[in-house]
Amino acid sequence: MTTSKKSLRTCNKGHQYYKSSDCPTCPVCEEERKPESGFLSLLSAPARRALENNGITSLQQLSNYSEKEILQFHGMGSASLPKLRTALQTNGLSFRQK
């Protein structure tokens, strides 16, 4: 297995971090903007951004999509679906059926 070389980067806020990919996301900034509560706080940063980038910031909005549609979003993985299902069920909602 080969390891990629990490490069030192600095974000617009001045945080320094190392990244091996082309992803421009600063992990320090991402941690600072992570919600403390709500269903988005349960998700990994890529999954949270996938929903936010598609205008989904509430469970009501999430319930308008099927699981298949959610999985099509860049950054969303199948590991997030059980967390989303549980959050929806707790609030009397569910994913849209195909």
Do 44 and 24 lie in one domain? The reply is no
The answer as to whether 1 is a domain residue is no
The answer as to whether 94 is a domain residue is yes
Which two three-digit tokens encode residue 68?
A: 């298949």
pTM for the full predicted model: 0.74
Specify the DSSP class assigned to residue 90.
H
Do 76 and 64 lie in one domain? The reply is yes
Domain count, the chain: 2
Do 21 and 47 lie in one domain? The reply is no
Range of the domain at 28: 7-35
Which parts of the chain have pLDDT scores under 50?
Answer: none
pLDDT, position 7: 87
Contacts of 89 (CB under 8 A, 6+ apart): none
pLDDT, position 31: 77
Three-state secondary-structure class, residue 83: helix
pLDDT, position 90: 97
pLDDT, position 33: 77
Helices (H) and strands (E) in the chain, counts: 5, 2
pLDDT, position 1: 58
The Cα-based distances of 23 to 17, 19, 26, 30, 97 in angstroms read: 12, 8, 9, 12, 34
Please tell me the distance from the alpha carbon of residue 32 to that of residue 16, in angstroms, as a whole number: 14
The residue type at 11: C
The answer as to whether 80 is a domain residue is yes
Q: What is the pLDDT of residues 58-84, one digit of tens each?
A: 999 999 999 999 999 999 999 999 999
Do 79 and 98 lie in one domain? The reply is yes
